[in-house]
Amino acid sequence: MAILPIRIYPDPVLLHEAKEVADINGDLQYFIDDMAATMYHAPGLGLAANQVGDLRRVIVFDVAQRDGSPELRVMLNPRIIACEGEIIHNEGCLSIPDYTAEVKRCKKICVAGFDREGKPLEIEAEGLLAVVLQHEIDHLNGKLFIDRISRLKRGIYLRKLKKQAAER
């Protein structure tokens, strides 16, 4: 398994919508393993394929690792089919280092897609798992968590980013 380079904002690949996975083959399985290794190495709770420069609708996630009992989960072509309620959660992102912000998300969601072998999969989630799934699916849709915060907070982050770039 390889550790893949994580794309950092404003890399344009992060803003593109990923394409549905049509071919489940050995190459995809190796890629999923590399994504998992990258997520754990970072460390993160989730990773979307476009965060490592690939525009296939693939996410890996593991919220159980926070409790010391890792449980890697993989979803191909995930889509939110139902949601309810509201939660505000402080989010960060591997593609937006050194920045967190409170983001409004759905409290409970139902996500449909396929597991790594192509079998239909449906996940009902709430709390942190719901937040992670929404965050990663946003990535696949070319959306970042900073797109969900106020214009003022986003402006502060973008000014910080420009200042860091000028200092390099």
Indicate if 136 belongs to the active site.
yes
Burial 72-95 (b: 16+ CB within 10 A, else e): bbbbbbbebeebeeebebebebbb
Q: Which of 20, 86, 124, 136 is catalytic?
A: 136
Tokens 């996410």: give the residue: 59
Tell me the catalytic residues.
136
